[in-house]
Amino acid sequence: MTIFMTFRIALKALNRNKMRTALTMLGMIIGVGAVITMVALGNGAQVSIEQAVQSAGTNVIMVNSGNFSSGGVRQGQGMSNTMTPDDAVAIREVPGVQFLVETINNRGGQIVAANQNWNTRVEGTNVDLPLIKSWPLESGQFFTPTDVLSASKVCVIGTTVKNMLFPDGGDPVDQIIRIGKHPFKIIGVLISKGQSSVGQDQDDVIYAPFTTVQKKMRGVTYIESMTVSAASADNIRQTSDAIAAVLRVRHKIQPGDNDDFMVRTLEDIAAMRTETTKTMTYLLASIAGVSLLVGGIGIMNIMLVSVTERTREIGLRLAIGARGGDVLMQFLVEAVVISLLGGSIGIGLGYGLSRGLTQFLQWPTYVSPQAVLVAFGFAAGIGIFFGFYPARKASALDPIEALRYE
Domain check: are 37 and 137 in the same one? no
SS3 139: strand
Q: How far apart are CA 357 and CA 366, in angstroms?
A: 11
Q: Which CA distances in Å does 152 have to 101, 135, 161, 183, 190?
A: 17, 22, 20, 11, 19
User: What is the average pLDDT value for the chain, to the nearest integer?
Assistant: 81
Cβ burial, residue 334 (10 Å; 0-12/13-18/19+): buried
> Which pLDDT score is estimated for 50?
59
72 belongs to a structural domain: no
Domain check: are 102 and 33 in the same one? no
Instruction: For residue 210, give the H/E element and its range.
Output: helix 210-212
Q: Which of 29-43, 118-132, 193-207, 289-303 has the highest mean pLDDT?
A: 118-132
- Structure confidence at residue 114 as a pLDDT band (50, 70, 90): confident
Angle at 337 between CA 335 and CA 343, to 5 degrees: 105
Q: How far apart are CA 201 and CA 215, in angstroms?
A: 27
> Which pLDDT score is estimated for 71?
44
Q: How far apart are CA 248 and CA 246, in angstroms?
A: 6
Q: Give counts: helices (H), strands (E), the chain.
A: 13, 14
Q: What is the pLDDT of residues 373-406, one digit of tens each?
A: 877 787 778 777 877 777 777 777 766 665 565 5
What integer is the mean pLDDT of 103-115?
86
Domain check: are 298 and 209 in the same one? no
Q: What is the pLDDT of residues 314-340, one digit of tens each?
A: 677 777 776 777 777 777 787 888 888
Backbone phi and psi for residue 18, each to the nearest 5 degrees, phi listed first: -60, -45
> Which pLDDT score is estimated for 89?
94
Domain check: are 250 and 171 in the same one? yes
40 belongs to a structural domain: yes
Q: How far apart are CA 125 and CA 45, in angstroms?
A: 30
Number of residues written out for the chain: 406
CB 74 within 8 A of CB 260: no
Domain check: are 280 and 322 in the same one? yes
CB 118 within 8 A of CB 108: no
Which residue type occupies 324? G
Domain total for the chain? 2
Q: pTM for this structure?
A: 0.56
27 belongs to a structural domain: yes
Long-range contacts of 248-255 (CB under 8 A, 24+ apart): 250/86, 250/87, 250/90, 251/82
From 191, 224, 259, the end of a domain falls on 259
> Which pLDDT score is estimated for 73?
40
Q: How far apart are CA 26 and CA 321, in angstroms?
A: 36
295 belongs to a structural domain: yes
Backbone phi and psi for residue 254, each to the nearest 5 degrees, phi listed first: -80, 155
> Which pLDDT score is estimated for 328?
77
Q: What is the pLDDT of residues 348-364, one digit of tens each?
A: 888 898 888 888 877 77
Domain check: are 296 and 366 in the same one? yes
70 belongs to a structural domain: no
> Which pLDDT score is estimated for 268?
60
SS3 384: helix
CB 283: neighbour CB atoms within 10 A? Answer: 12
Domain check: are 237 and 374 in the same one? no
75 belongs to a structural domain: no
From 202, 235, 259, the end of a domain falls on 259
Domain check: are 206 and 93 in the same one? yes
Answer whether residue 208 shows pLDDT above 90.
yes
Q: What is the pLDDT of residues 248-272, one digit of tens each?
A: 999 999 888 888 898 987 666 556 5
CB 190 within 8 A of CB 125: no
From 227, 259, 291, the end of a domain falls on 259
Q: What is the pLDDT of residues 285-294, one digit of tens each?
A: 676 667 777 7
SS3 364: coil
Q: Which of 50-64, 178-192, 231-245 has the highest mean pLDDT?
A: 178-192
Could you write out the three-class secondary structure of 25-83? HHHHHHHHHHHHHHHHHHHHHHHHHHHHHHHHCCCEEEEEECCCEECCEECCCCCCCCC
268 belongs to a structural domain: no
Domain check: are 220 and 284 in the same one? no
> Which pLDDT score is estimated for 148?
95
Domain check: are 253 and 278 in the same one? no
Q: Which of 389, 194, 217 is nearest to 304 (CA)?
A: 389
Answer whether residue 18 shows pLDDT above 90.
no
- Structure confidence at residue 52 as a pLDDT band (50, 70, 90): low
Q: Which of 38-42, 66-70, 111-115, 167-171 has the lowest mean pLDDT?
A: 66-70
308 belongs to a structural domain: yes
Domain check: are 88 and 220 in the same one? yes
Domain check: are 284 and 225 in the same one? no
> Which pLDDT score is estimated for 406?
53
Supply the range of the domain harboring residue 245.
Answer: 81-259
